[in-house]
Amino acid sequence: MSTDELDPSTPVVVGVGQASERLEDPGYRGLSAVGLAAEAAREALADTGVDPAAVAAAIDTVAGIRQFDISMPGAPAPLGRSDNYPRSVADRVGAAPRRAILEVGGGQGPQHLLTELAGTIAAGDSQAALLFGAEAISTVTHLAQAEDKPDFTEHVEGDLEDRGYGLAGLVSMHHAAHGLTGAPEQYALFDNARRARLTQSREDYARGMGELFAPFTRVAAANPHASAPVERSAVELVEVTETNRMIADPYPRYVVAREKVNQGAAALVVSVATAERLGIPRDKWVFLHGHADLRERDLMARADLSASPAAVLAARHALDVAGIGLDDVATFDLYSCFPIAVSNVADGLGLAADDPRGLTLTGGLPFFGGAGNNYSLHGIAETIGRARKAPGSYGFVGANGGLLSKYSVGIYSTTPTGWRTDDSARLQAEVEAWSAPEEAHRADGWATIETWTVSHTRRGPIGIVIGRLDADGRRFLARSVDGDTGLLELLGQEEPIGARVYVRSFGFGNRVTVNDTRMDELFPTRVPAFRDTYEHLLVRRDGHLLEITINRPEQRNSLHPPAHEELDEVFDAYFADPDLWVAIITGAGDKAFSAGNDLVWSASGKPVTIPKSGFGGLTSRRHLPKPIIAAVNGFAMGGGLEIALTCHLVVADETAKLALSEVRVGLVAGAGGLVRLPRAVPHKLATEMILTGRRLTAAEALDHGLVNRITEPGTALEGARELAAEILAGSPTSVRVSLQIMGETEGIADTVDAVTHFSPALEELMTSQDAFEGITAFAQKRAPEWRNR
């Protein structure tokens, strides 16, 4: 096909640009991310070979790749940032686009977005789109503490299509609780699994990583935009030294993506009609011949942790769309944040590490620089340049995002072609239908290591394990116990994968060690007992009655991890003590029963954990064998209401306000409120309370059956004591058995089936001392003397 035969709406890349600076460079300017992106964008406009101002005037769409400091909620920006990054860059280059896009995070972004914009142009919905991205992490780190530090804050008017962080399935509290907070630890799990699959020794595998990346360093050394332009040998790359310290086994620092860079890149895509109108020379035109976008299963749902077959499937499909084979490709730029990102695709396509065509055009993320989510736009820029120098050749760009999660591929050539659609949606459906192991979020028992790493932090090494439970084969994630050298020694052996270990779950996550004996040493069984004093509670015994007061009135009796742990201990002791028959929980002061989660603690960045027994030591217990009464004085908000919902009975004073207020602070009532409230009040009312945070008064709560009794202001505890006395007048054995049978039959829908349900507890009751005592006392017309048996 000649260019004259092309449809006018055919998309074509006509300009690319790159910008960079190093701290040690003469004339270092300390540009912001916006400044670097704008400089790269100017280069892209100039690269078209025509008047940049005329090109800028034609741009109707700008799209920015999300930089790191806007890629996570609450990410710091020590020098400030733009509140409309795409339009900040557009303003600098003289463009006035009608549409501005801020793409989701992830290294797949540049290729994914270029493909999308090309498709939009092909559909006639755009004529010229400018794509760009940049990072100035090196500059920000360097100047953050300077007395005369610059201010990169910008406010720009105009609409913005902000697509969000795109973190779903990639970041989780569960992962963070087990040490998977950084990319090196996560990717190391894959590389260690691959080594085991290949049955290679640690030494041989390390040598292979070095041999894979040594050619990358040679490319970086010749690249004027590289952040670390130093050629290194294969041995030097993987030999652990003081400067090349171990980050996460098997990765020393030299093979890990380098994020402290100052780099920007841009690409301009226009329709053929626009290119003709602007007079852009045809030797500048490069076409997207093939493309594909696929997402791998989430980490714990992958059948094989040693590879990402979805990435390989995307690569093969892009070649198919382009109508070429692997041998037809002249250049490759494979995303290279860690060795596995390259070897996974190379393995799948049959590419050797020493392929004479090379696997990178930039030098790769550890050496050229890991310019945040924008790295592959540099790869695209280099590919466009090589394609122009060798007309008719094909260049392959593979862009990876997440945890080998998202893979976007582009095939480029100067050979004219019309727009080609892909079949990624159908292939994605296939990926999502792949089998997946069941995950155990709470893992207990003997298990086998499936993959592992050791993260070498400043606070010491942390062993991270993904394994399979011996009992049922479910997969779990766990980490080592601080100070447990036994597991670290096991992980230091030649091949830990396949070794048996022992795992136990806690409120703060799963912990793994070498055997059950060692686990018992690390976490001795806690004998249920009361302390003499508590820091966050007041505990009082009065005969068979236990009173628990949350004693944090200045925090409206909200709960943080230390308070949760104390409540967990107290309730364990209550349920284990045969002389305690009823418990009351209340809050200190007259303002609040409990305001739920301590948001000040949560916002401080400190670990937020609750015990396995749930919020307040109650909400996740499967069965509460003895009655608990909530004495609600003032507010019962969020987790406070969830505690009250868990209790068997609720007494509230007239000032009480009850609400699930989580939606007001961007959370949900995840400690049971979403389940228990619709079962306690009419469903419509529950839905309204959950979705709006509506507060019920004590009278409203009584009308809807959410509380049992209302008392005068300030007398909820006295009312709870009266209710407790009524319970204590009955047989504690009968009370416990009644609660047990109610729990056993709660899930039985048919009434007769529930009534005829056999419970051993009933048989035990009928032979108990209390049963005989109750009948005897009634016949003798005296008060019974209960024994709780």
Own/partner contacts of 171-174, CB < 8 Å, gap of 24 or more, are 171/72, 174/441, 174/477, 174/509
- Assigned token pair, 38: 């704008």
Distance CA 438, CA 475 (A): 6
- Assigned token pair, 493: 């052996």
Amino acid symbol at 759: S
- Assigned token pair, 786: 């209960």
3-state SS, residue 177: helix
Choosing from 432, 662, 726, 744, the catalytic residue is 662
- Assigned token pair, 150: 């610059």
- Assigned token pair, 753: 């089936």
Distance CA 224, CA 678 (A): 63
Distance CA 698, CA 632 (A): 9
Phi-psi region at 306: left, alpha or beta (left = phi > 0; alpha = psi -120 to 50)? alpha
Distance CA 127, CA 489 (A): 61
Distance CA 155, CA 256 (A): 35
Q: At what angle do helices 424-433 and 309-322 cross, to 10 degrees?
A: 160
Distance CA 377, CA 397 (A): 9
3-state SS, residue 562: helix
| Inter-residue contact 651 to 708 (CB < 8 Å) | yes
CB neighbour list of residue 36: distance below 8 Å, 6 or more residues apart: 19, 20, 21, 134, 135, 136, 262, 263, 264
Q: How distant, in Å, are the alpha carbons of 633, 721, 730 from that of 582?
A: 19, 10, 11
Distance CA 475, CA 193 (A): 14
Amino acid symbol at 278: L
654 carries an active-site annotation: no
521 carries an active-site annotation: no
Burial of 434 (0-12, 13-18, 19+ CB in 10 A): middle
Burial of 706 (0-12, 13-18, 19+ CB in 10 A): buried
Choosing from 43, 547, 565, 642, the catalytic residue is 642
Q: How distant, in Å, are the alpha carbons of 299, 438, 441, 514, 788 from that of 472?
A: 19, 9, 13, 19, 39
The β-bridge partners of 468 are 448, 475
Q: What is the residue-wise DSSP string for 482-548? A: TT-HHHHHHHTSS--TT-EEEEEEETTEEEEES-HHHHHHHSPPPPP---S--SSEEEEEETTEEEE
Distance CA 205, CA 219 (A): 23
CB neighbour list of residue 51: distance below 8 Å, 6 or more residues apart: none
Q: Which of 572, 579, 528 is nearest to 789 (CA)?
A: 579
Distance CA 211, CA 232 (A): 10
Q: Which of 261, 357, 331, 358 is nearest to 18 (CA)?
A: 261
Distance CA 237, CA 256 (A): 10
Q: Which residues are catalytic?
A: 642, 662
